[in-house]
Amino acid sequence: MKAGRFLKYHFPFLAWLLIIFIQSSFPAVDLPKVEFFSADKIVHAGVYGLLAALCFISLIHIKKENLFTGNVYLWTGIITILYGASDEIHQYFVPNRSSELQDWLADIAGVIIMLILIKVFLSKKMNLFRREQTNG
């Protein structure tokens, strides 16, 4: 794999996975209890929406056909939603952090919204969200 191709299509996804893990590894300060629909949930949706976009870009630009390239929308959803679940489980073990179903549901909402945006708009308007055509 060429370094430029890796840096353009795959590194951002891997880096965002690492950033999410590192951020959720820090012990949190005591925060007041928030309602279901709050800024925290919007942040969760945004973080996982971005993760879904980066995952989609990475998968759509895998050169060799494999299980993950067959249905990129499905695999993007599975990978990012399971990562959100694993992040909530991870946070359960971090001091002063909590594992909340509502956070995971906000993650899922962000993933679904992004996949709809990609399907309806981004894949039609931006080359980054389309599989490269190979000659031959």
Give per-residue pLDDT as tens, 104-129: 999 999 999 999 999 999 988 888 88
Domain count, the chain: 1
Q: Report yes or no on 86 lying in a domain.
A: yes
Question: Is 80 exceeded by the pLDDT of residue 67?
Answer: no
Handedness of CA 60, 77, 71, 124 (dihedral sign): negative
Domain, as residue range, for 93: 39-129
Tell me, yes or no, if the pTM score tops 0.75: yes
DSSP state, 32? Answer: -
Count how many residues are written for the chain.
Answer: 136
Q: Report yes or no on 68 lying in a domain.
A: yes
